[in-house]
Copies of this chain bind each other. A is one copy, B any other.
Amino acid sequence: MPTIQFLPFQQSTESDGRRTLLEMVRELGLPLQAACGGKKVCGRCRVIIEESRDLLPPPTEREREALGKLIEKGYRLACETVLSDEARVYIPEESQTRPPVILTSDGFGDFSIRLQPAVKPYYLEVPPPVLERVTADRERLLGALEAGYRLKKTEIDPLVLPQLPQTLRTRENQITAAVRNGREVVGLFPGREERLLGLAVDIGTTTLVVYLLDLQTGKRLAVSSALNPQIHFGDDIISRIAFCQKDPEGSVQLREAVRQGLNDLISRVVEDADVRPELILEAVVVGNTAMHHFFLGLETRYLAMAPYPPVVQESLVVKGRDVGLAINSSGYVRLLPLKAGFVGSDIMAGILATGLHKSRRVRLLIDLGTNGEIVLGNKDRLLCCSAAAGPAFEGGHVRWGMRASAGAIENVRIDPETLEISLRTIQDQPPLGLCGSGILSAVAEMIRRGILLAKGNFNPAIHSSRLREGRDGPEVVLRWKWESLTDQEIVFTQKDVAEAQMAKAAIQAGVEYLKEIFGNQPIEEILLAGAFGNYADPEDARTLGLIPVLPATKVRAVGNAAGYGACLTLLDKNRAKEADRIARKLEYVELAGNSRFQELLVDSLLFPGATDFKEFI
């Protein structure tokens, strides 16, 4: 990350005076973290002013609190800083948003797929026109489709039509027509072209994943992922919705950001697989409701207002060109159905991929993000809810929390005897903070060693050099200043424990509530979806109570189930109808304002693995 030079003219805006450094950095698209989306809460947007510090206005109270002695080293919070003169600004490594570690496992072995893509190639030899009875190119092509394949009343996309005369004549009237569902010609290729491609797209709040598949063989040709560029407008859904409400152009910016991000990924998979992008003739897109709406440019304001109605629920099929996706402009994009404001098509795809809706056994699917989406049921009944867990398990609202990227602590072990601490980080890099599984692991170990009690408070009877009083109450020092390259201590505080505790309680209460509605039938399998599910230790999750402690219950990480569901739908068009059936069958349970859920939430705050747990039940 080079130092950026800001010139004074860059900071003037047309109307309301000066912009903050954060806004300027954002505009340049630079990878500066701002978990709160610029709401001046998270304190992550630390930058170093390299020169002319004296020309800056003095640090605000928030900056003094958040940065302490770092201010002397030139650190400032970008969201608080308004430049009054030219400045050189450096974004230190810990403040950068970096490519996260993303799951792209090869989990297809689990599924038996009957290859039935929506778009198929039809090889044709089209008779040339004759003077006695002149038939136009289009009508001769459609005639050949009917004669050769019994496809009747087929249409041709008007944007394909201009390619027809030349394509037809390139290989002496031998041509391949890519026909969608037997009804519409969406692509034309000279001679024989067997390799038509499809794209499965998973739009996560944090991460975009794109899979490139061969529609004729089902083979996965490439996969690529990146941070959702909307991150620059806010880390979580609510920040982004708020951004749109503030700025009339906001939803356009968010729409273009995600489309650009996806198109960059498309370029990458196309290059990796060494194929032509015009061969991509179909895409399936999944995502949570807000991501779905942002992608389509739909209003999200009402998703954040009771009764939280989405703009659309059923599945949609739109032309690639109408949503600006860089596939063949005549290809279609299918968006799987949504259920509610916080139960999106990613869940529908996840159910599809895990087969919950066809299972005899009662199973529980948890996709843990900022909102924990929970599905409980079997082929007879499917319940779902969305628990507002908060971003703790994604590294948010935790003092040293961070996303799952290189240098993130993913595992914490505390020696039972000495209470000495050992850390494991992603890619074995020097530790920079804790990602979700690290936070889970830290809390679980503190519970096991008796450091934390059932209510989440530090046990005053336990003493260690690692335990001390900090500015947010008691804290454990995970890494001493002298162990650190960055000269910074990494601590885990009472306040951080409380964040994790709230998050796990929301999930736990959601699960409990669904269980009650389902008649308290035993859960036979727990499926953990998403990155957190893959990296989290199920034992840690049980220690916190995040997942039910049930005998004979298997816990299985299912990876990016939403992405798999999208791939499945791409390869077998009947899955789309199945997703529609799932959406209709799925019963959405609203937790907001529900008094029984509230009761369960309070009960769920306790840590079941704690030494004093039995005293409270």
Closest beta carbon of chain B to A247's beta carbon, Å: 16
Closest beta carbon of chain B to A177's beta carbon, Å: 15
Which residue of B134, B311, B338 is within 8 Å of A164 (Cβ)?
B311
Main secondary structure of the interface of A (DSSP, over half): loop
Contact between B590 and A166, CB atoms less than 8 A apart: no
A172 within 8 A of B: no
Given A166-B299, A299-B166, A341-B134, does the pair A309, B158 have CB atoms closer than 8 Å? no
Closest beta carbon of chain B to A128's beta carbon, Å: 8
A158 to B324, CA, bound (A): 12
Which residue of B136, B312, B319 is within 8 Å of A311 (Cβ)?
B136
Which residue of B139, B310, B338 is within 8 Å of A313 (Cβ)?
B139
A498 within 8 A of B: no
Interface residues of A in 333-381 (CB under 8 A from B): 338, 340-341
A297 neighbours in B (Cβ, 8 Å): 162
CB nearest to A314 among chain B residues: B139
Residue-wise, chain A 309-331 has the 8 Å CB interface mask toward B (1 for contact) of 11111101011011100000000
Contact between A158 and B316, CB atoms less than 8 A apart: yes
Contact between B308 and A134, CB atoms less than 8 A apart: yes
A323 neighbours in B (Cβ, 8 Å): 158
Q: How many copies does the complex hold?
A: 2
A299 neighbours in B (Cβ, 8 Å): 162, 165-166
A135 within 8 A of B: yes
Contact between B165 and A301, CB atoms less than 8 A apart: yes
A257 within 8 A of B: no
A298 within 8 A of B: yes
A570 to B158, CA, bound (A): 20
Contact between B310 and A158, CB atoms less than 8 A apart: no
A314 to B316, CA, bound (A): 29
Closest beta carbon of chain B to A26's beta carbon, Å: 24
Closest beta carbon of chain B to A282's beta carbon, Å: 16
A162 neighbours in B (Cβ, 8 Å): 296-299, 311
A99 to B487, CA, bound (A): 79
Closest beta carbon of chain B to A109's beta carbon, Å: 35
Contact between B135 and A313, CB atoms less than 8 A apart: yes
A296 to B318, CA, bound (A): 21
A306 within 8 A of B: yes
Contact between B130 and A307, CB atoms less than 8 A apart: yes
A129 within 8 A of B: yes
Contact between B322 and A137, CB atoms less than 8 A apart: no
CB nearest to A323 among chain B residues: B158
A311 neighbours in B (Cβ, 8 Å): 136-138, 161-162, 164-165
A164 to B138, CA, bound (A): 36
Contact between B312 and A134, CB atoms less than 8 A apart: no
CB nearest to A338 among chain B residues: B136
A153 to B137, CA, bound (A): 33
Beyond A134-B590, A158-B296: 10 further Cβ-contacts under 8 Å?
A134-B310, A136-B311, A136-B314, A137-B310, A138-B311, A138-B314, A161-B311, A162-B296, A162-B299, A165-B298
Please list the 6 inter-chain residue pairs (A to B) with the smallest Cβ-Cβ separation, ordered nearest first.
A131-B307, A129-B309, A165-B299, A136-B313, A158-B318, A138-B312
* Interface of A toward B, CB cutoff 8 Å: 129-131, 134-139, 158-159, 161-162, 164-166, 296-299, 301-302, 306-314, 316, 318-319, 321-323, 338, 340-341, 588, 590, 593
